[in-house]
Amino acid sequence: MADFETPEIKEYPVIPRLKPDVMSHSKPFVAKEQFQEPLGFPGELVDNWQDKAIEKMGELQGKYRSLQVFLDICVKCGACTDKCHYYLGTTDPKNMPVARQDLFRQVYRRYFTFAGKFFGKLGMPGFVGARELDKEVLDDWYSYFHQCSQCRRCSVYCPYGIDTAEISMAAREVLDAVGVGQKYCNEIIGKVFKIGNNLGLPEPALADTLEGLEEEVKDDTGIDVKYPLDVKGAEVLLVTPSADFFAEPHVDGLIGYGKVFHEAGISWTVSSYASEAANFGMFIGSYENMRRVSMRIREAALELGVKRIIFGECGHAWRVAYSFLNTLAGPFDFLDPRYPVPQHICEFTYDLIQKGALKFDKSANDHRVMTYHDSCNVARASRMGPMPGGQFKIPREIIKATCNHFYDMPADTIHEGTYCCGGGGGLLTDDLMELRVKGAMPRMQALKHVVDNYGVTHMAAICAICKSQFSKVMPYYGFTMDQIVSVHQLVSDAIVMTNNEV
Amino acid sequence: MAIEVNGKSYEVDEEGYLANLNEWEPAIAEVMAKEDDCELTDSHWEVINFLREYYEEYQIAPAVRVLTKAIGKKLGPDKGNSKYLYELFPYGPAKQACKYAGLPKPTGCV
């Protein structure tokens, strides 16, 4: 099945020996013209691509001061080198965060610093760590900036807080600007513009799917729980990843949200126009595309006349929602100011638990011994609830309220030190399977630790990408695909339903 | 890229999915399955045919619960689950079965 070796899980984490260029072959499919054009990018590598790329770099450095600072201030201390899951899993030195940054930084030095220009003209740019932008460099960018899931773990350990994710986003934006886009991300963004979600689920299919869920919950519980679509005047607009409609274990989380809304007696709806929480515009570093995707949520909220917007379990969507939505698509002065704009489904459920509004039979989850995977964009790029660290506490409190058995993974692999699932940042595609499997190694190692020591049987997450990635890669490490679950699946299984009419 | 079926050439994308849905014929599924060392049985065909019918109506492959429910109704409740579907299509029912059925690959966080 696979033409690569799954990394071995050792007894203790070890920093692997370097194997230069061992992942230089890893490249996702390049987007064809049909996927580039709807996003406003050239269909293929443009003729004067060097000039274009350098011009774009200059533009981005002017627009994002952080980028300029990150390119200037690295002192090569090495603190980040062993912090990237892709380096630990692949052993390729270019997957060390500083080396990845330097692929971009060397070009920055050549064209934007005095030393680089001076020695560049003398034909010896390497003397000051600068390099000409040639095709080899461009190919390296395409390969290694698609081996970064923009998880920001390295930035936690950098004494200067240099964020490789931002450099990686900038590099991808330059690549798009010269016509070398990534098929997976760009095809998907086009589908959001055309149909409303990443999957390309049109309204009738969405309606049919939600109706099926209503029947399923009725069969299971005997209660009429609604999964409403395009209902004008609903209190809450739920914006959730389209994987929640389509895939397992995601759909069990969606079933859980519906049960919580039902028990809370709060009317809600999904919008077919904004039927996607994910925003891949962020992955490709494109502000314009990120804004276009976000605007759909604003338009849907206005059209449906809702009072609140709640986001479902999606990691990077929550970063966009929590950190950027107001400036991308605000102001949201038409929503009820008594609630956070927007709110996370976990905040919503946790709040109800605090108020004693939900009843649980925890024994329903007694066949599970749980652990929790912090998704990177929730952990390191956002917050949740009114207290610092709420993004770590709230999901765990929900699990503890619904399950009797919970154990955390080792401390340096959770909270702000969490390891990426290996498939984030626009890399959740079959053409990067080797990278995904290898990049999952540190998380799998931490999971194995709690499986061996505490008998953990399941890991919960609140991100559609994490869930899909784990169900795919866990079998490579001797686990089974159903050991990853949605947090709201645990809620769904333990909640005691009453006959509330909404 | 293209695949050869009964002496005729069909265009496919980088991942082997049929470029033009309308060109599909059962022999294409057989050839694709053979490449994956998979022998198509009646059980596989039940799924492939359902996918095509659903796509015809909704322009998208069915969500996993829609699919398991439909298969459960047709073949009995013991088969209406994703475990059964993964036994038939080990690369994942959504992707592998869609490919054989000539449908586009489901995209997104799936």
Q: Please state the domain extents for chain A.
A: 33-181, 190-407+456-494
The answer to the question of residue B8 being in a domain is: yes
Gap between the Cα atoms of A304 and A312, Å rounded: 18
B38 is catalytic: no
pLDDT at residue B94, as a whole number: 86
pLDDT band at A500 (very low <50, low <70, confident <90, very high): low
- At residue A489's C-alpha, the angle toward residues A487 and A495, to 5°, is 105
The interface predicted TM-score of the complex, written ipTM, equals 0.96
Give backbone dihedrals phi and psi of A236, rounded to 5 degrees, phi first.
-120, 135
pLDDT in tens, A412-428: 999 999 999 999 999 99
pLDDT at residue A499, as a whole number: 72
B26 lies in which domain range? 2-100
The answer to the question of residue B110 being in a domain is: no
pLDDT band at A1 (very low <50, low <70, confident <90, very high): very low
pLDDT at residue A485, as a whole number: 98
Fold exhibited by the domain A33-181 = Fumarate Reductase Iron-sulfur Protein; Chain B, domain 2 (1.10.1060)
pLDDT in tens, A89-110: 999 999 999 999 999 999 999 9
Alpha helices in A152-271 (DSSP H): 153-157, 164-177, 183-194, 203-221, 243-246, 250-264
pLDDT band at A2 (very low <50, low <70, confident <90, very high): low
Closest CA to A319 of A282, A355, A366: A282
Q: Is the pLDDT of residue A25 over 60?
A: yes
Per the document, the length of chain B is 110
Q: How many domains does chain B have?
A: 1
- Beta-carbon separation of A431 and B14 below 8 A: yes
The pTM assigned to this predicted structure is 0.97
* Minimum CA–CA partner of A215 in chain B: B69
Q: What is the CATH number of the domain that holds B94?
A: 1.10.10.370
Dihedral of the CA atoms A100, A103, A106, A112 (nearest 10)? -100
Gap between the Cα atoms of A399 and A389, Å rounded: 16
Q: Is the pLDDT of residue A155 over 70?
A: yes
User: What rounded mean pLDDT belongs to chain A?
Assistant: 97
Instruction: Closest CB to A464: pick one of B64, B92, B109.
Output: B109
pLDDT band at A3 (very low <50, low <70, confident <90, very high): confident
pLDDT in tens, B43-79: 999 999 999 999 999 999 999 999 999 999 998 999 9
pLDDT at residue A474, as a whole number: 98
Residues of B within 8 A of A229 (CB-CB) are none
Q: How far is CA A301 from the centre of its chain?
A: 23
Task: Kindly state the tokens that stand for A117.
Answer: 């220009």
- Beta-carbon separation of B14 and A187 below 8 A: no
Please give the helix or strand (H or E) that residue A447 lies within, else none.
Answer: helix A441-454
pLDDT at residue A501, as a whole number: 58
Gap between the Cα atoms of A486 and A313, Å rounded: 8
Closest CA to A492 of A278, A307, A244, A205: A244
The answer to the question of residue B7 being in a domain is: yes
Q: Within 13 Å of residue A247, how many CA atoms lie on the same side as its CB?
A: 31
- A339-363 average pLDDT score: 97
- Beta-carbon separation of B108 and A245 below 8 A: no
* Minimum CA–CA partner of A200 in chain B: B60
